[in-house]
Amino acid sequence: MKEKDVDVIHTHKEDKVRCDRCTGIMVHEIFFGLHEYFWGWRCIICGEIIDPVILENRRGYKIL
| Residue ranges that bind Zn ion, judged by CB under 5 A | 19, 21-22, 24, 43, 45-46, 48
* Shorter beta-carbon distance to Zn ion: residue 19 or 40: 19
Q: How far is the CB of 1 from Zn ion (least distance, A)?
A: 42
* Shorter beta-carbon distance to Zn ion: residue 8 or 48: 48
Sheet strand arrangement including 37-43: 17-18, 25-32, 37-43, 49-50
* Shorter beta-carbon distance to Zn ion: residue 21 or 58: 21
| Spatial CA neighbour of 48 closest among 28, 13, 22 | 22
